[in-house]
Structure formats: C-alpha cells, structure tokens
Structure 1
Amino acid sequence: MAAHILVAGGGIGGLASALALARQGHRIELLEQASAFGEIGAGVQLGPNATRRLRALGLEKALAAVAAQPDALTVRSAAGNDVLARMPLAQAIAQRYGAPYLCVHRADLHTLLLDAVRDQECIALNTDARIVDVKFNDNVVCASSADARAWEGDALIGADGLWSNVRQHVATPDSPPRATGHMAWRAMVAQSAIPAALRRHGVEVWLGPRLHAVAYPVRGGEWLNVVVIAEATSAGDVRDWDQASSLVALQQATGRSGAALQALLEAMPGWRAWALSDRAPLTGADELVRERIALVGDAAHPMLPYLAQGAGMAIEDAVALGEALGGGAPAELPNALQRYAAARWQRNARVQARAQRNGQIFHATGPVRLGRDLAMRTFGAALLDQPWLYAG
C-alpha cells in the first residue's frame, strides 16, 4: 500500500520531492506557505549531477526549452579582466559526465517543476499553508497551519527553506541560521538591450579582493544573469531574499571594479540584494531525519553559493528520497527515511564545506590571492573541473 506523505514547502526542493515521491506511487499533500506558487530570485547553474536527476524525473525536454547551455567557464581577474583559467563546457562536459551543464532562471525551473507536479493526480496542492506545529507518533504525522487547518500523513518532508519550521522537530536543539557577513546583489537584462561586447555565452567569473562576480546566460541565452557577492552586512531584514538595492549601494560595499567588469555592472537596469546565511556542515544522518520526518534542501543544509550547488543538492535530495522510499508501505517509512539520510548526509556536508572554502579562495587578498592566480594560470581547467561532484 502506498503512503500518504506531506511535503512542506513549494520551492524547488519541495516540488522535486513531491514529483519524485509521486513517481513511486505515493499520495502527496504539498503545503506552500505563500498565497500562490511562485519563485523569485536570479539564475541557477545546474551541473551534470543536477541535470542528470532532472532527466530521471522526466524533465529533460522541458528544461532544454528554457535553459541556456554555456560554452565555457572562464575565470578572470576583476581588476585587469585577464583570464586566469578556462574550462570548456557545452558538449565537452556533457560527454564527460553523461549530462549537460545548464543555466536557467530560477522562476523557469520552478515553473517546469510545478507544471510536472500539476500533471500528477496523486499530488494535492495547498497554499497559505505555513506550518506552525507538528505532532507525530509511531504511525502518523500531523502538521497544522497558521489558519488552524491540519493535515495527517504517514510522513512529513520539510522542504521549507532556510528558515524552516519543520527543522526544529528534527534538529534538536535547533539554532537559527548563521549570518555570514556576505551580501549578494543580482541583476538581469535582455542581452539585446546591452552592447554586443558585454553579452555573454558562457559562465564568466571575476575574482577580486573580498568579492567576486558571476555572469551567465539564461532563458535560452536571450537574457543575462549577473551576481556580485561581497563581504558586507545588510541593513535590511536578513530573511528578505528580495531587497531593493542599487549600483551605488553595491559599490559602497565593493568599490569600483576594473573597467571591463565595471562596464557590465553599469549596464544593468536595476539591482536586488540579499544577505547570505548558512549553517555548519552536517555531522551525521540524525540531522536529516527523525522518525517519520525528513529534511531536504536548505531546510537541512543551507550553503553558500560558491560552488553553485544549492539547487543541485535539493534536487539530488529529492531523487534520493524517492529512491529510498520506493513504493514501500507506510510501516516501512521510518527505515526508508533513515536510508535516505545515510545516503545523503556526507555528500551534502562535503558540498557545504567546499562552498565555504571556495568563498575564502575567491575573496582572497595579499599573498594568498597571488598564489591562487598562479595556480589557476598553471593548472587551468584541472582546477575548475569537479569530478567528485559532477559524476556523483
């Protein structure tokens, strides 16, 4: 007999989890705290590890219709724009890992997942369903919303993001996410609206003291996504992922960049910002699962964007969850969730730790920066490739 599973959170991790579980025959109740399903934010880089799993969920064609396939990853100096290292992407990486490296707008990824979920008759969608209380026993989990609605299921999946309410019922004692002292500014523009010299067909990264910038195409290459991350503190609400900002505010934190990067930043029509928070890397499977409750994505292992794997790890979690549960009966769920946690915690912890380490490398100053640049010029693509990650 298939199980009835509650999924808290209608973002990328929640939708992917609902879809993966539905494909195993389970009945899903998806609980989204907002009044409508939607997504804000900027672009998302999807390595072969993520696109391989989206293919497994039946989303290969839908993804290809909205994504851009960058031709290369190029790392440059923010000051002089000189190339430090370059790694071919496109067909080269697809052949190496059996799946492409793609760039997509977060809202487009969310929409294709939502469309796939809506095609599943066994998934019920609920909005205005912010979970404020969870009760469970050996056989059932009950989740209650702020407006006094309640849902019962055989298990609860917490995919409710960085500020998860479900998390406190798994990670005990729990603590808030930690402020990193880093801020991210994002902008998007139609490629046709900027000079040809500023348009980008690959992923380009500029490294500078205490900052770095990334630009890459999305929406079939027709739009350009630009993100600047710097060591700065937010004057706004740390929970607000969509703060209004400006180039002036960005440059008050970062100063002016070299001419090439500066020209790109000045061409952007507007800026949004958010403060970056994370958690320490996972230390064990017990931080992912407790009895009939499990966590996926940022609810379990939020990470800095210095490895471009936040969405990728949420998608990996979702597919692993579906594989661990299979078509098992409700009585088997606690053991199945433990299998999921055992399969995921070490990989997620490694990505969290590597993302933190990359932040130190990307933002290095002084002799460390000089050593980094020399190593990149010497070893090039060998330093940029991530076989342990992309083949996993």
Structure 2
Amino acid sequence: MPAHVLIAGGGIAGLASALALARRRHRVDLLEQAVAFGEVGAGIQLGPNVTRRLQQLEVWEPLVRIAARPDALVVRSATDGREIARMPLGNAMLHNYAAPYFCVHRADLHGVLLAAARGTGAVTLTTAARVTGVVARDHAVCVSSTERRAWEGDALIGADGLWSTVRPFVLEDSPPRATGHTAWRALVDQSALPAALRSTQVTVWLGPRLHAVAYPVRRGDALNLVVLAESAPAGDARDWDQASSLAALQAATGRTSGALQALLEAVPDWRAWTLNDRPPLASPSQMAGERIALVGDAAHPMLPYLAQGAGMAIEDAVALAEALDGGDAAAVPAALMRFAEARWQRNALVQARARRNGGIFHATGLVRFGRDAALRLLGARLLDVPWLYEG
C-alpha cells in the first residue's frame, strides 16, 4: 500500500521529493510556510549526476525549455583576467557521462518542479503552513502548524532548508555557523551587455580571498553572476535576498581584472547573502530517525564551491522515493533508515569537498601560485569530477 508522506518545505528539495514520491504512487501533503509558492535566488549549475535524475522525474521537456547548455568551463585570474585552465562541457559531458550539463535559474527550475508536482494528482500543496510541532508515534507522525492546523501521515520529510524547524526533531545540534564569506548575485539580460561581455560558458575568476562565477541561464538569454568574498556578515543571516550595491561588493573585493570589472559595473542590481553552514554529516542518524527524515539543506547544507547544493537535494529526492518503494506504513522507519544509509556518505563527501574548494579558490601566496601552476599543467583533468558526475 502506498505511503502517505508529509513534506515540510516547498523549495526545490521539497518539490523534488514530492514529485519523486508521487511518481512511485505515494500520496503527499506538502506544507510551505510562505503565503505563495515561489523562489528567488541565483542560477544553478546542474551536472550530469543531476540532469540524469531529472530525467527520472519525467521533467525533461520543460527542463530543456528553460536551460542553457554551456560549451565550456573556463578558469581565469581575477587579477589579470588571463585564462588558467579550460574543460569542455556540451557534447563532452554527454559523451563522458551520458547526460548533459545544464545551467538554469533557480526560479525556473522551481516552476518546472511545481507544475509537475501539481500535475501528478497525488500531491496536495498547502501554503501559509509553518511547522511548529511534530509528534512521532509508533504508526504515524502528526504535524501542527502556526494556523492550528494538523496533518497526520506515515512519514515526515524535512525539506525546509538551512534553518529547518524539522531538524531538531531528528537530532540535537548547534545552529548553523557563519563562515565569514558573503555572496553577491545578479542576473542581467545578455542583450543588455556589450558583445564582449556576453557568454556561452561557465567562467570562474579566482583571486585572493574571492572568486566570481558567470554562466548563461534561461536558454542563454540571461547571464547569472555570483561573487563570493571573505567579508564580515551584514544583515539578517537568514535573509539570502538582501539589497546590496556595487560599492559594497567592491569594498570586499577591491579592483579586479578589466573584463571582470566591466562585467560587475554593467550590472544594475545586486543582491547579497551571508554564507552559513554545518559540519559534514557524520552518520546516517543525522538524516533520519523513526518516521522523520531530512533532505537537502535541512540535512546537509552545501557551500557553493562545488555547485551541488540543489544537486544533492535532487539526488536525495530520488533516493528517498526508491527507499520507500513497495513498503507499507509499518515499514517506513526501516525505509527511511535505508535512505539515510544510502545517502549520508556521499552528501558528507560533497560537503567536505565544497569546503576544501573554498580554501583553494580563495588561496593566497604560494598556495595560489601552486594552484594556478597545477591548473595550467593538468587543465581539464583537475577540473573534471568523475566520482561526482558518475554517481
């Protein structure tokens, strides 16, 4: 008999989980604390490991309509603009991993998943429902919200992000920690840029204590730009859509190479957020317990230095549905533990590698010199990550 699953959180992690479960004929109640479904934020890079799973979720056609398909990953110096290394994407990804490398805007991917979830007929979407209470019993879990409403199901999935309200019902730990890094993001129409600043590639500029990334989204019509620098936090740590400015960005980064500086100055509107994270997962019990499991940032927040935050959430969603497949309500706790055991080590590895990349990207002195020399010598061999893309 299919399970009845409650999901807290209507972002990418929650919608992907709802869709994956619905595809396996489970019934889902998804609870979103906002008054309407929507998504803000930056672009997302979808490696072959992620696009392969989105094919499994049967959203391929709408995904192709919103995606850009970059032809290369290019690494440059943020101080002088010179190319350091290059890795082909495009057909090379298809050949090597049997799935493409896409770039999308977060809001566009969210819209694709939302429409697909609605179309299943098995997902009930409820807004203005912030989870405030959870009671797990032997045969069910009961959830209450701020509006004094209640839901009962066979399982509860916490997909409610870094500041999850479900997480404390799975484990006791400290709040997320500030990293000392700030991110600025912008989206600009390519047609509004001078021809020399338009791009069909993923470009990464590496500098001392900073790096920037630009890539096309929305079928290539727009360029997504993110700059990350070691900078004192500002504003509400929970707000990742703070108004900012070029002046604030430049105060953190200083002057950069001519082409990068021209791109930064061509952006009319900047948003910012401070990066917070948690230590890498240490055991499967940090992802599931009894009838409650965590997915995405609620379980394993990812620093953006491996471009896999959304990717690991989507991988979680597919693995969750696979673990619950074919079981009845009584088998849910065992299924959730199978899910956690299947996922925690991979998620922990990606968390750790993302942290390590942050240090490499922002290196100074001799470490920076050695990094650039290795990239010039080995190029694509260093930039490729088969252990990730084949997973």
State TM-score, norm by structure 1: 0.99
Instruction: Please give the alpha-carbon distance, in whole angstroms, between the structure 2 residues aligned to 1:117 and 1:74.
Output: 36
1:298 corresponds to: 297
Letter in 2 for 1:356: R
Q: Could you list the per-position Cα deviations for residues 179-237 of structure 1 after superposition, in whole angstroms to 9, with x for gaps in the alignment?
A: 10000000111000010000010100000000000000000000000000000122200
Letter in 1 for 2:281: L
Query: SS where residue 307 of structure 1 aligns?
Result: coil
Shift of 1:289: 0.3
Letter in 2 for 1:254: T
Q: How does 1:1-392 map to 2 (within 5 A)?
A: 1-171=1-171, 173-392=172-391
Instruction: Please give the alpha-carbon distance, in whole angstroms, between the structure 2 residues aligned to 1:81 and 1:60.
Output: 36
Instruction: Please give the alpha-carbon distance, in whole angstroms, between the structure 2 residues aligned to 1:181 and 1:138.
Output: 43
Instruction: Please give the alpha-carbon distance, in whole angstroms, between the structure 2 residues aligned to 1:307 and 1:163.
Output: 21
Instruction: Please give the alpha-carbon distance, in whole angstroms, between the structure 1 residues aligned to 2:179 and 2:173.
Output: 18
Q: Could you list the per-position Cα deviations for residues 152-177 of structure 1 after superposition, in whole angstroms to 9, with x for gaps in the alignment?
A: 00100000000000000111x22111
Q: Could you list the per-position Cα deviations for residues 272-319 of structure 1 after superposition, in whole angstroms to 9, with x for gaps in the alignment?
A: 000001100000000000100000000000010000000000000000
State TM-score, norm by structure 2: 0.99
Kindly indicate whether the alpha-carbon contact (under 8 Å) linking 1:133 and 1:143 is maintained by their aligned counterparts in 2: yes
Shift of 1:271: 0.2
Kindly indicate whether the alpha-carbon contact (under 8 Å) linking 1:10 and 1:32 is maintained by their aligned counterparts in 2: yes
Shift of 1:329: 0.8
Kindly indicate whether the alpha-carbon contact (under 8 Å) linking 1:25 and 1:327 is maintained by their aligned counterparts in 2: no
Shift of 1:242: 0.1
Shift of 1:95: 1.3
Q: Could you list the per-position Cα deviations for residues 310-357 of structure 1 after superposition, in whole angstroms to 9, with x for gaps in the alignment?
A: 000000000000111113111111111111000000000000000000
Shift of 1:25: 1.0
Instruction: Please give the alpha-carbon distance, in whole angstroms, between the structure 2 residues aligned to 1:391 and 1:79.
Output: 34
Letter in 1 for 2:145: S
Q: Could you list the per-position Cα deviations for residues 228-276 of structure 1 after superposition, in whole angstroms to 9, with x for gaps in the alignment?
A: 0000122200000100000000011111111111011001111000000
Instruction: Please give the alpha-carbon distance, in whole angstroms, between the structure 1 residues aligned to 2:118 and 2:194.
Output: 40
- Extract unaligned runs of 5+ from structure 2: none
Instruction: Please give the alpha-carbon distance, in whole angstroms, between the structure 2 residues aligned to 1:61 and 1:102.
Output: 13
Instruction: Please give the alpha-carbon distance, in whole angstroms, between the structure 2 residues aligned to 1:116 and 1:322.
Output: 16
Letter in 2 for 1:42: A
Query: SS where residue 298 of structure 1 aligns?
Result: helix
Query: SS where residue 260 of structure 2 aligns?
Result: helix
Instruction: Please give the alpha-carbon distance, in whole angstroms, between the structure 1 residues aligned to 2:205 and 2:326.
Output: 47
Instruction: Please give the alpha-carbon distance, in whole angstroms, between the structure 2 residues aligned to 1:179 and 1:235.
Output: 11
Query: SS where residue 364 of structure 1 aligns?
Result: coil
Q: What is the alpha-carbon root mean square deviation over aligned residues? A: 0.6
Kindly indicate whether the alpha-carbon contact (under 8 Å) linking 1:17 and 1:319 is maintained by their aligned counterparts in 2: yes
Query: SS where residue 286 of structure 1 aligns?
Result: helix
Kindly indicate whether the alpha-carbon contact (under 8 Å) linking 1:212 and 1:363 is maintained by their aligned counterparts in 2: yes
Letter in 1 for 2:44: V
Instruction: Please give the alpha-carbon distance, in whole angstroms, between the structure 1 residues aligned to 2:80 and 2:250.
Output: 18
Identity %: 68
Misfit runs of 4+, over 2 Å: none
Query: SS where residue 192 of structure 1 aligns?
Result: helix
Q: Could you list the per-position Cα deviations for residues 125-180 of structure 1 after superposition, in whole angstroms to 9, with x for gaps in the alignment?
A: 10001001101111110111111111000100000000000000111x22111110
Letter in 2 for 1:345: W
Query: SS where residue 160 of structure 1 aligns?
Result: coil
Instruction: Please give the alpha-carbon distance, in whole angstroms, between the structure 1 residues aligned to 2:187 and 2:123.
Output: 33
Q: Could you list the per-position Cα deviations for residues 25-57 of structure 1 after superposition, in whole angstroms to 9, with x for gaps in the alignment?
A: 111000000000000001000000000000000
Query: SS where residue 239 of structure 1 aligns?
Result: coil
Kindly indicate whether the alpha-carbon contact (under 8 Å) linking 1:26 and 1:327 is maintained by their aligned counterparts in 2: no
Letter in 1 for 2:50: A
